[in-house]
Amino acid sequence: MKEKFNTISVIFNITSLIGLVIIYFFSYFIKNNSVHLSSNYLLLLIISFIFVLLLSLAYKLAQAVRFTFSRYFNNLIRVYVIFTCTIFSISFLYRSASYSRLFITLYVSLYFVFFLIFYFLFKLFLKSEILRGKKNNLVIIGAGVLGKNLYYELHNPIYNYKIIGFLDDKPEENNLSDYILGKIDTLEKIINENHINEIFITIPLINENIVKKIIELSNHYGIKIKIILNYYQLYHKNVSMTYCGELPIITIRKVPLENILSRIIKRVFDILFSFVVLFFGFPIYALISIAIKIDSKGPIFFNPFKIGYNKKIFKMFKFRSMVVTPPEIHKNCSTIRNDPRITRFGSFIRKHNLDELPQFFNVLKGEMSVVGPRPHRVSLDKEFQNSIDNYMLRHLIKPGISGWSQTNGWRGPTDTRERMQKRVEHDLWYLENWSFWLDMKIIFLTLFGKKAKNNAF
């Protein structure tokens, strides 16, 4: 299956890139009545080519085309928005070259239409006999939850299977009972009657003797056999398999940001976004600094030590919003509502999240990200590790200025186990479901969402 999917992905990406080049030349011809590109237009074509390839790989357009149109369309919209913003930015901000606005508008518009039409054409290609060939008859050993899920998954036409039915010694009551052919020991009879090409085993491997007999019988008849592991049932989801030489390795929790391209995209955005905020926000930084000095005695910045990526300790930058207190107090005493330590101006900047602005320096240093789980103090980290399930998994990615838990109302004090557990659950969901588009959504909700301001004091 993997080899087939890799072939499909290569065909999809090559064909889509050829289409992109054709659209580019067509748009240029409409505007200039010529296909001889000038050097600046050739440069833009090369940038477009590379950028579309990277975005298609990052957002897995080739994989999405195998499923529903809505799934493909959602991924396409994300690619299109980023691509269009990039092209318009280059064409309007790059002053060393002049690009026709008519050409740019026509180019990005036709690009979107092309990928919509391309989906349906590629779907027809996937369903064609040229790619699919003759259907394979298969039987599934095990009619439990794992076998049931496999049954529905293999109904996708891309797999090109004809499911003969199930064999199970203790079938569960479900809506697939009509497809159960009998017990496992009738496998040889089923093979002879139905010309079986493949067998999928979904029963637990603890049934060693049964599995061994199935494998021996399959080898005797020259039938391909596949074993579906039930790790994802034990650990819920995001299980992936890789290989170290010939040894299979199961990764229990898949983290999208382990992908190098995803990390590059997130880091580039962090740098650009932080630079813009620091550059254009300089007057605000200056006014807040002056107001802090007028409001109370002490330094402008407060620098608590936090736990970051891979459990490394770093010094965070924040605008000071409290009166200066001894280290043993602010290290171990969480902020509470109507906390007497908060100054008058400190209350204002905390309510509007302005005390967090200096953390963009931490982002530029690579210690934090714009979006991610909020970092905690060292003392709290050790406490929560022992009391909250899966807490330490938050450190698999960089902490953020804002995060999914904050935008869903789980910011503020961690005075109860429920509040802390909810925060961790949301952080882990973000860790497992990261995308550039999700980061954009979190930034928007941080600025304009009501829940993001809950428990701000």
Using DSSP's 3-state secondary structure scheme, residue 122 falls into: helix
How does residue 87 score in pLDDT terms, banded at 50, 70 and 90? confident
Q: What is the CATH number of the domain that holds 174?
A: 3.40.50.720
Q: Are residues 122 and 144 in the same domain?
A: no
Whether the pLDDT of residue 215 is over 70: the answer is: yes
Residues 192 and 271 in one domain: no
| pLDDT above 60 (res 234) | no
* 234, part of any domain: no
| 399: number of Cβ within 10 Å | 25
Tell me, yes or no, whether 40 and 189 share the same domain.
no
174-203: average pLDDT: 84
Cα–Cα nearest to 319, from 280, 347, 277: 347
Instruction: Say what the pLDDT of residue 130 is.
Output: 45
Q: In the predicted model, is pLDDT for residue 23 greater than 80?
A: yes
Q: What is the DSSP pairing of strand 240-244 with strand 180-182?
A: unpaired
Least confident range of 1-10, 71-80, 94-103, 248-257: 1-10
Residue type, 239: V
- Please give the residue range of the domain that contains residue 181: 134-228
pLDDT score of 129: 47
287 and 423 share one domain: yes
Tell me: pLDDT of 363 over 90: yes
Of 257, 370, 398, 373, nearest to 314 by C-alpha is: 398
Same domain, 271 and 372: yes
146/8 same-domain check: no
Backbone angles phi, psi at 162, to 5 degrees: -110, 110
Residue 68 lies in a domain: yes
Q: 174, 125, 117, 130: which is closest to 151 by C-alpha?
A: 174
Residue 239 lies in a domain: no
In a shared domain, residues 410 and 439: yes
Strands 198-201 and 180-182: unpaired
Domain boundary among 70, 101, 129: 129
Cα distance from N-terminal residue to C-terminal residue, the chain: 54
* Strand intervals (E) in 74-203: 136-141, 161-167, 180-182, 198-201
Assess if residue 240 is contained within a domain: no
Domain stop point among 129, 148, 182: 129
**What is the number of domains present in the chain?**
3
Share of the chain above pLDDT 70, in %: 80
Residue 206 counted as domain residue = yes
Tell whether 404 and 427 lie within a shared domain: yes
Q: What is the pLDDT of residues 275-327, one digit of tens each?
A: 888 888 888 899 989 988 888 888 888 888 888 888 888 999 998 888 877 65
Q: Is the pLDDT of residue 128 over 80?
A: no
Query: What is the pLDDT averaged over residues 223-230?
Result: 80
Place of tokens 């990764």: 251
Task: Supply the mean pLDDT for the chain.
Answer: 79
| Average pLDDT of the segment spanning 53-61 | 77
255 domain-assigned: no
Q: What is the DSSP letter of 322?
A: B
Nearest to 354 by CA among 318, 327, 407: 318
What is the pLDDT confidence band of residue 415, given thresholds at 50, 70 and 90? low
Where is the domain boundary, 228, 246, 272?
Answer: 228
Which alpha helices (DSSP H) does 39-100 contain, by range? Answer: 39-58, 61-64, 69-93
Type and span of the H or E element at 251: strand 247-251
Question: How does pLDDT run across 25-49, given as a tens digit for each residue?
Answer: 888 888 888 878 888 888 888 888 8
What are 417-430's pLDDT values in tens digits? 777 888 888 888 89
Q: Is a pLDDT exceeding 80 seen at residue 72? A: no
Does 357 reside within a domain? Answer: yes
Residues 272 and 414 in one domain: yes
User: Closest Cα partner for 434 from 370, 371, 376, 389?
Assistant: 371
Residue range 434-444: mean pLDDT, rounded: 88
Q: List helix spans (H) across 175-259.
A: 187-194, 208-221, 231-234
pLDDT at site 360: 93
* Residues 76 and 173 occupy one common structural domain: no
Asked, for residue 36, whether it belongs to a domain, the answer is yes
Same domain, 209 and 144: yes
Specify whether 51 is located in the same domain as 118.
yes
**pLDDT, greater one: 64 or 323:** 323
**Cα gap 202→144, rounded to integer Å:** 8
- Whether residue 95 has pLDDT greater than 70: no
Report how far apart, in Å, the C-alpha atoms of 213 and of each of 138, 184, 193, 198, 216 are. Answer: 17, 10, 19, 15, 5
